[in-house]
Structure 1
Amino acid sequence: MSGSAAPTSLSTVQKVLLLASALVLAALLFLLRGGLTSESPMDQLARRSPLPEEALANHRPTLIEFYADWCEVCREMAPAMLANEQRYRDQLNVVLVNVDNPRWQDLIDRYDVNGIPQLNLFDAEGQPRGRSLGRRSQKELEALSEALIDNSPLPQLAGIGDTTPLTPETVATPAPSGVGPRSHG
């Protein structure tokens, strides 16, 4: 009888260990996938984003990203944007503006958004410093953020441009015939 009890006991121990291992792996997978809040980085940023007018008035530099949920580049850049927002949370406002939301049409028009992702960069007084078009790496986002925080010149990156105020002379100068914002001429 003692010979038959050992295999049953060993089988029960194996089953318990297997069950415990499965539970530990399931819990680990659950935590790695975000637990109960499995929001994407873009959703997390959008949810925590201050309103643009509040951000531009709180005496901190501001980075406004114009994005869309369907924009693949925006989604690919979101983890780097989230890491950037978390790193500089107490020094920099990171604001997301969804171009598909009619609520933001006035901002889209004001900042001449005609491609996404577009980052508009503002100093601590809410004055425009520049804008960035297209994908940005984590390192590039950090360089932009640090320049805004330090109030130093923006880094020289492709797709970065300074914003210049319109003067009466600029507004009064007519564009050559046949040249428009989308003519590439």
Structure 2
Amino acid sequence: MSVNSPESGGMAQQVRNFVVVLVAVLLSVAVVLGLQTRTPSASLSDMAEAAVPFDQAIANGKPTLVEFYANWCTSCQAMAGDLEQLKGDYQQDVNFVMLNVDNSKWLPEMLHYRVDGIPHFVFLDNQGNDAGAAIGEIPRAVLASNLTSLMAGEKLPYAQAEGQASEVESALDMSGSADDPRSHGAQVVQ
């Protein structure tokens, strides 16, 4: 059998096809693994379910981090992993509370803390007094510095931090605009 025979050409084509299939499989596996590493490990709903209830946090004598959030908020979702890590580091000494702005039950707290963008973080001292706030996507290091100072009873280094936030429309506005993504196109008749 010579190098230029038809059998050797068929064999070379089979080897090339095998290599192409192997590369395609490896690339597919790499893409799937890459997408999995970009998916947040923390679900806002799961985090809220595991959070300390607001009334309990105010009464238990520990400093508290209250997060006003919504499941549709991309900034809230982007910070979920960082907050889960902070909770793991500080949960022995700090309450972590999550209040969903889409639940009208929290309207008095939203008004009291002037929540107009989310995520909105409120730092409360061990007596439940307002020690500072942070609005929007805040670096984990900034939140950690504030939590460390809160635990020590010191003034927060970033008492009024701001980052990218999602706007919150007042729950008192019942106009029902069809432009509201949460209206699902419904019109409210006045």
**Same fold by TM-score, threshold 0.5 exceeded?**
yes
Deviation at 1:119, TM superposition (A): 0.9
**Partner of 1:147 in structure 2?**
149
Q: Does the aligned pair in 2 maintain the 1:68–1:116 contact within 8 Å? A: no
Separation of aligned partners in 1, 2:152 and 2:9 = 70
User: In angstroms, what is the RMSD of aligned CA positions?
Assistant: 3.4
**Partner of 1:167 in structure 2?**
none
Deviation at 1:76, TM superposition (A): 3.3
Confirm or deny that 1:113 pairs with 2:114. Answer: yes
The count of aligned residue pairs is 152
Deviation at 1:9, TM superposition (A): 2.0
Unaligned runs of 5+ in 2: 163-190
**Partner of 1:85 in structure 2?**
84
**Partner of 2:8 in structure 1?**
6
Unaligned runs of 5+ in 1: 161-185
**For residues 28-177 of structure 1, what are the structure 2 equivalents within 5 Å?**
28-34=30-36, 38=39, 40=40, 44-49=43-48, 50-53=51-54, 55=57, 61-71=63-73, 75-76=74-75, 78-92=77-91, 93-109=95-111, 111-117=112-118, 118-123=120-125, 125=126, 127-135=128-136, 136-159=138-161
Say if 1:33 and 1:96 are closer, same or farther in 2 by CA, change over 3 A.
farther
Separation of aligned partners in 2, 1:82 and 1:59 = 26
Q: Does the aligned pair in 1 maintain the 2:64–2:96 contact within 8 Å? A: yes
Q: Which runs of 4+ in 1 moved over 4 A?
A: 54-60
Deviation at 1:154, TM superposition (A): 0.8
TM-score (norm 1): 0.61
Question: What percentage of residue pairs aligned between the two structures are identical?
Answer: 23
